[in-house]
Amino acid sequence: MPPPHVSNRTMLQIILKRLGSLVFVLFSLTFITFLVGHLAPGDPIQGLLGNRHDPVRYAQLKHEYGLDLPIYEQYISYVGGLLHGDLGKSYKYAGRPVSDILKSGVPVSFELGIVALLMSALVGIPAGVLAALNRNRWPDRSIMFVMIALFSIPSFVLIPILRYFNFMAYDAGLPSLPVAGWGTPAQWVMPVFVLSAASAGYITRLTRSTMLDVLRQDYIRTAQSKGLPERIILVRHALRNGLLPVITVLGPSAAFVVTGAFVVESIFSIPGIGFLAVQSIGQRDYPVIQATTLLLGMAVVLMNLLTDVLYTFLDPRISLR
Amino acid sequence: MRARTDAQMRTEILPEKVQGTAPSFWARLRRDPIAFASLVFIIVVVVLAAVGPSLYSALASADLKDFRTYDYQDYANINSWPSAVHWLGADALGRDTLTRLLLGLRVSLAVAAFVQIINISLGATLGLLAGTLGGLVDFIVSRLADMLFAFPGLLLAILVSAVFGQAAQDLAGDIGRLLLVSGALALVSWPLMSRYVRAQTLSIREREYVLAARSIGTGERGIMWRHILPNVSGLIITAATLDISSVILSESVLSLLGLGIQAPGSSLGIMITQAIPGLKLNPFQVFVPSAMLTLLVLAFSFLGDGIRDALDPQTR
């Protein structure tokens, strides 16, 4: 059921428009990924056979991998396979499905990504609100200094800094964190911190600026002049409107997390799909990196879709976009 | 009768003081201390990256010359702190850090330059054409950009440099890798540039002075060259400068993932990754490339902000 403020007609238009752009984005993702794989140098079938010269097996494998079809049919069967959860076959191990290789990594990356997104919202939103309420005073200045630093320091510079402090803590006999691996909560701390740092900074900045906008609005002054307590003005009037645009950062933040996942998983040896994909590059197992790109791209598409849906339902003014 | 050229009209209409925006742009940029300091820093880094390595090895006495190359392993000075021989110490394999840093900067700056050349010649041009010509051209350029926008962050650059990396290496060695990395990063950069330029072009086309130019008979081409291009050039320069800082970071990410320059070559990303295991032994080896990278990225983004403010004082 659409919310009462959106008429059925506009709702339908919005949904159709969103669906159209969704289809376009999915087509772009799959088409470009397919194209890059198709243009990949070298003959994957000969690669699978190694040095053996075996025309029969060659033709057999070529057929099995569908590489004997015309290119458009290859693309169609690629997309058809994707719809069935088939991410293609490995170029390294004959006949082994890519999904088999990546299977163990998906939940790990998902966990890492979701936790990092949650953390960046849990830190970024309160920090932004606090900064806006204390505009140009020391809490604002110090919060923004830290958050802009977190936003601008690249993850692979942040990692050594954290590790160095960790070593110092270890040397001083203080509790310290494991530097690699995935599983125990202690192993989560550093990767999640690094992965959420940039988007936390981003969310803080956005929250601060939207809150400042809202605090300048007439209805806030009206509420103040009719003598409402500051706390009620904040909760009922400012936060409700100020936090709405923050939902839109879900999409961009997911994009930060996706690129960051490759770096963080590699450096912390976290067996997620980014880590597995980087390993597959050395073996020239291109379908693995193709599939990883697709999975991460789709994750961001889903996040954007979720953002759009949430926003349309929450903000009555958006109905005509 | 031929219409008078714009230059003639300008000299007739405008008072002398207003003419030429270049001096006031520089004056404004100079008055912005952070942006100006960033510009000076960038120039120093560019000069150092260009002549630094040969100067540094020339400064060494004859028997120490070899020590200051990017791949010479000085086993006596593994993980060493700064000394007279190795001004910034040596890494875990005994290689001179200052030489590797300067060569790494060369890589970063070269990739940044390549990407901006593509970004401006392809992205800005396509944006300008799409905005001016409209119709089918606009549709194709915009949809092409949209297609590339479907890939979040560095995903497409990672995919492309992973799949074609070995072939580029086989074809043209390190240069091939650099060109591939630049091309892959440009693939991520140009859609944004073209979108900016297109939007600005569309808005300028509706201004009154363009209408005035059109009414005195200036053709589409004249309008594009004389009215639109000068007015989007500021945007192009600002966007390219700001993009440089993200390209430098992205190049480091690709190097770190093993997709950029290959060992024993040097790049800031490689230096950081290779020094992380020895962090406890010699944190200075991580600190040097990290600090350089951060400063360089900040400098380009401050400079970009400064240029934007200097070009358009109203945004301040």
Q: Which ipTM score applies to this complex? A: 0.82
User: Is pLDDT at A255 greater than 90 in this prediction?
Assistant: no
The answer to whether B67 and B86 are in contact (CB under 8 A) is yes
DSSP A68: T
Chain B from 282 to 301: CB within 8 A of any A CB: 283, 286-287, 290, 293-294, 297-298, 301
Cβ neighbours of B165 in A, within 8 Å? 281
- HSE of B193, CA atoms in CB hemisphere, 13 A: 30
Q: What is the structure's pLDDT at A15? A: 76
The answer to whether A269 and A105 are in contact (CB under 8 A) is no
Q: Cβ separation of B297 and A25 shorter than 8 Å? A: no
| CA separation for the pair B229, B308 (Å, rounded) | 16
Give yes or no for B147 touching A (CB within 8 A): yes
B17-32 pLDDT, tens digit per residue, is 555 555 577 777 787 8
Cβ neighbours of B283 in A, within 8 Å? 160, 164
Is the alpha carbon torsion for B165, B167, B168, B172 positive or negative? Answer: positive
Angle at B132 between CA B131 and CA B138, to 5 degrees: 50
| CA separation for the pair A171, A151 (Å, rounded) | 29
Backbone conformation region of residue A284, classed left if phi is above 0, alpha if psi is from -120 to 50, else beta: left
Interface test with A, best of B159, B160, B257 (most A CBs within 10 A): B159
Cβ neighbours of A291 in B, within 8 Å? none
Question: Please, what's the b/e burial string for B17-38 (b: 16 or more CB within 10 A of its CB; e: otherwise)?
Answer: eeeeeeeeeeebbeebeebbeb
DSSP B74: -
Q: Cβ separation of B151 and A282 shorter than 8 Å? A: no
A58-100 pLDDT, tens digit per residue, is 777 777 777 777 777 788 878 887 787 777 777 777 667 877 7
Lowest model confidence (mean pLDDT) among A92-101, A237-246, B2-11, B291-300: B2-11
Total count of residues recorded for chain A: 321
The answer to whether A105 and A262 are in contact (CB under 8 A) is no
Q: Is A245 exposed, middle or buried (0-12, 13-18, 19+ CB in 10 A)?
A: middle
| CA separation for the pair B88, A228 (Å, rounded) | 62
The answer to whether B178 and B104 are in contact (CB under 8 A) is no
Supply the pTM of this predicted model: 0.82
The answer to whether A29 and A297 are in contact (CB under 8 A) is yes
| SS3 (DSSP) at A228 | coil
pLDDT category, A202, cuts 50, 70, 90?
confident
Residue the block writes with tokens 């530097």: A179
Cβ neighbours of B155 in A, within 8 Å? 258-259, 293, 296-297
| SS3 (DSSP) at A284 | coil
Question: Please, what's the b/e burial string for B143-155 (b: 16 or more CB within 10 A of its CB; e: otherwise)?
Answer: ebbebbebbbbbb
DSSP B86: S
